[in-house]
Amino acid sequence: MSAVETIHVNGAWRGAASGAQREVLDPADAKTLAVVAEGGVADTDAAVAAAREAFDEGRWPHTPVAERAALLRRVADLLQRDREAIALTESRDTGKTLEEGRVDVDDVTNAFRYFADLVVNESGGRVVDAGSPEIHSVVVYEPVGVCAMITPWNYPLLQASWKIAPALAAGNTFVIKPSEITPLSTVHLMKLLVEAGLPAGVGNLVTGTGDPVGARLAEHPDVDLVSFTGGLASGTRVMEAAAATVKKVALELGGKNPNVVFADACATEEGFDTAVDQALNAAFIHSGQVCSAGARLIIEDSVRDRFVAELARRAERIKLGRGTEPGVECGPLVSAAQLAKTERYVAAALADGASLRCGGSRPEPSQIRPATGYFYSPTVLDHCHGEMSVVREETFGPILTVETFHTEDEAVALANDTEYGLAGAVWTADAGRARRVAGRMRHGTVWINDYHPYLPQAEWGGFGKSGVGRELGPSGLNEYREPKHVYQNLAPRPVRWFKG
């Protein structure tokens, strides 16, 4: 395939029907990293048609579960074979560090293996007791059909795998549209699927923008499910477009996530050091461009001054640069637009009365290499409150806001004072308090004395405006299946309801 044949339809790589192309930029220096095809409605329709035919006429939906699982395991092995190459692609495309890229590849590998194991180890259906030995009643699960997948720019490979692996395990066909900003690792993953033996038409890829490609997928009458990960505004439009055809919708729309620290978690030097270290990780991994980022530090007032002072001191020492450079701890923002958005949020917060403890600007060119990318210094904003846009809205930048509380009830109220509900954490040495607070927090994932880990076996998703449905875990598989009740009368006889 040539450099611009990044659209994959019915087993063949091609350029856009219109011939359009798009440059993919390296966020570390704003230079062209690659050129990809810029797909449109015609490409999208062709991809959906291929997926529709492969589902309706092909054998994949009827392939034995063991064979589908074997293909997923082959993909996992190929991901590990290409681990360094994919990690490098992900680092250059998104700006994250090379080590983060390696972790992503390992997590993707685990997801493919998990869903392979899950479907193989399932029973043949759920038997329903109908109250009579003459009735055999069972609930079975069948694939939804053609699945449209729209993925974000921050974790392109990971988010693709969270959709593709369960969809294939369940027997579906799909069309995936990666973000136009970071499409390269998804293209690589599609190549591995083909190499692993995925039949033509089962998996299709269209590179292009949300409008028209994503919009067309959401509204397409031959699509049975649309799974979208991204921002709230875009997710709302996806849901609106999907409503006309009453297709299934799964949305993961991010969060504004609280990291609640009680004073007793900092009672020892080791506890204090751990809580500060994890607050940095929560907020500044991948320059804060994480849907579950702990961007809201909610800290007990008695330890606030010492904690925030040490947090700011360490944040100032984070080494910025190209993610592939040795020693670099944090890369650039993904685009010029994301950099400008971060600057606007910080300016608004300062105008609203926040106190700048560190960061708040682009780094001096002499402090980073290369010096021309979309870099922004890790920023800590103190004296914040819930009326500030920087506290209420998802910034997706290296910004940490600080709020304080005095009582447990106040901490819970602040943690839940958001229209989102994706993730959050509570730090305390009191086991009873940990369970109480975790139980009261209205978030899809709650960590206790930790931040950011996830397990492919455990569901991921949120409350409120963080979305609809779940990824990962058994529920993540069931998003891609339809339950069917099969009721068999083993001794049929006349009912005589009608006497004639």
1 pLDDT band, cuts 50/70/90, is: very low
Sign of CA dihedral 365, 367, 369, 374: negative
Q: What is the pTM of this model?
A: 0.96
Query: Is 252 assigned a catalytic role?
Result: yes
Within a 13 Å sphere around the CA of 324, how many CA atoms are in the beta-carbon half?
A: 16
Residue 428: helix, strand or coil by DSSP?
Answer: coil
Tell me the per-residue pLDDT of 35-75, one tens digit each, with 9 for 90 and over: 999 999 999 999 999 999 999 999 999 999 999 999 999 99
Q: Is residue 2 pLDDT above 60, yes or no? A: no
Q: Is residue 280 pLDDT above 90, yes or no? A: yes
Q: Which residues of 455-485 are buried (b: 16+ CB within 10 A; e: fewer)?
A: ebeebbbbbbbbbbbbbbbeebbbbbbeeee
Q: State how beta strands 445-448 and 423-427 pair.
A: parallel
**Which of 151, 174, 173, 171 is closest to 162 using CA atoms?**
151
450 contacts: CB under 8 Å, gap ≥ 6: 278, 425
For residues 293 and 390, give the distance between their C-alpha atoms in angstroms, rounded to a whole number.
Answer: 13
Q: What is the mean pLDDT of residues 296-311?
A: 98
H or E segment to which residue 433 belongs: helix 431-440
H or E segment to which residue 21 belongs: strand 21-26
Tell me the per-residue pLDDT of 108-120, one tens digit each, with 9 for 90 and over: 999 999 999 999 9
For residues 400 and 71, give the distance between their C-alpha atoms in angstroms, rounded to a whole number.
Answer: 42
**DSSP secondary structure of 357-405:** EE--SPPPGGGSSSSSS-----EEEES--TTSHHHHS---SSEEEEEEE
- C-beta of residue 174 within 8 angstroms of C-beta of residue 161: no
Q: Is residue 411 pLDDT above 80, yes or no? A: yes
- Residues 90, 100, 252, 471: which is the catalytic one? 252
